[in-house]
Amino acid sequence: MTDRTAYINARVLDPATETDRMGSVLVLGNKIVEWGTGLFENGIPENVRIVDCHGYCLAPGLIDMRVHLPEPGGEHKESFETASAAAAGGGVTSIVCLPDAQTPIDNISVLEFIARRARETNIVKIYAYGTITRNRAGNELSEFGILAEAGALAFTDGDKALADALVMRRALSYAATFNFLIIQHPEEPRLALNGQMNEGEMATRLGLAGIPAAAEVMMIERDLRLVEMTGARYHAAHISTAASVNAIRNAKTRGLPVTCDTAPHYFTLTDSSVMDYRTFTKVSPPLRDEKDRLAIVEGVLDGTIDMIGSDHRPQDQDSKRLPFLQAETGIVGLETLLPLTLALHHVENVPLIDLIRRLTAAPANLLGMKEGRLGIGLPADFTIFDPDHSWTIKADNLRSKSKNTPFDGHTVKGMAMCTVVGGRHVHSLID
């Protein structure tokens, strides 16, 4: 058996080099050794395995920068094995775990556990963030330097906003000294207290306590003032409102080192989806109204929104099949990240390479990862996908252990046909 594989007849998309053309990729072992348009114009060498991509897109493996992985402690909701299988099936080759499992990532031992479980699972690559504060309590800062040396890519308290302005200032000052990245869940917790969905007409009709859109932008605007004071790199996670998009856009205009991401459900669904108390639409931050949804689309179109992550948060039946007030927040998203994002290409005419950038090179550059691009000597992590393949999402067919998706029965376009990690086919429909 040869250890060289040629991927031919592919539409090669590499946002890092602005490449979008027909070409080929040659892999030796777990590395890319050559790629380009005229790679095999004189014929393919002998003893090379050939994979015909049938004209599908070949892009760097997707990086999902927002994955809630509840192991250890929540294996009944999702394990490393099931999350990795879901990622591979969705074309995701690298996931970054948020530090909000039952055991927070605020010490080296938890990072070592994640690295060990990733090696044991050996499907996709699994990275992690460290917490900003110990036990995510919002008081005492974690040891950023020690956690970074152990592999933490950035620092966040996950789905908890760091509400104390003084603690956030200290965190940003600490991070600025070493060029670390602080990621905030932007939500003013007192305004959001006991809220169940977006504040507005739908919440009133359903009799549910609302979370005002202002709760998000108030936290972002406070933090932007602190960024001005400290010069630290700051990232606003899963933004969902028009005001937040405007705040980030203005901050970038002023030259602040600020980035942001959103999740597909914020440009796909609105709070009207909560009708009939559908707990599978309960997310944090909540689904907003149509005006906010359109603003998120516009933020992707004009580049204000830098990245798209699934915000994958698996919840078992016992956590979701409850009255709306008691139900947990979150939806699964690893397997639907690609097709839901591609809807912006099919419906809103966002260039395909721009969307792939938000799923590959942009998160890689932000987090200092070597993945997210095609290059000689780089890891052979890439995804072959058909952007026009139409299929219907069926919750029971998802590889995730939990099936909490609001998109059950939705018809989408775009499917991962082959997922390659380190030269290995971890998912394939073409060979």
CA 408 to chain CA mean position, Å: 20
311 tagged catalytic = yes
Place of tokens 């705040």: 247
According to DSSP, residue 16 is labeled G
Residue 117 makes CB contacts below 8 A (sequence gap 6+) with: 71, 80, 126
CA dihedral 8, 19, 427, 331 (to 10 degrees): -160
Amino acid at 50: I
H or E element: which one contains 363?
helix 361-367
Between CA 273 and CA 55 the distance in angstroms is 37
Among residues 311, 318, 354, 388, the one annotated as catalytic is: 311
CA 411 to chain CA mean position, Å: 21
Tokens encoding 136: 């995510």
What are φ and ψ of residue 21, in 5° steps? -160, 165
According to DSSP, residue 49 is labeled E
Between CA 156 and CA 196 the distance in angstroms is 23
Strand, coil or helix: what is 260?
strand
Give helix 242-253 / helix 214-230 axis angle, nearest 10°: 20
* Residues recognised as catalytic: 311
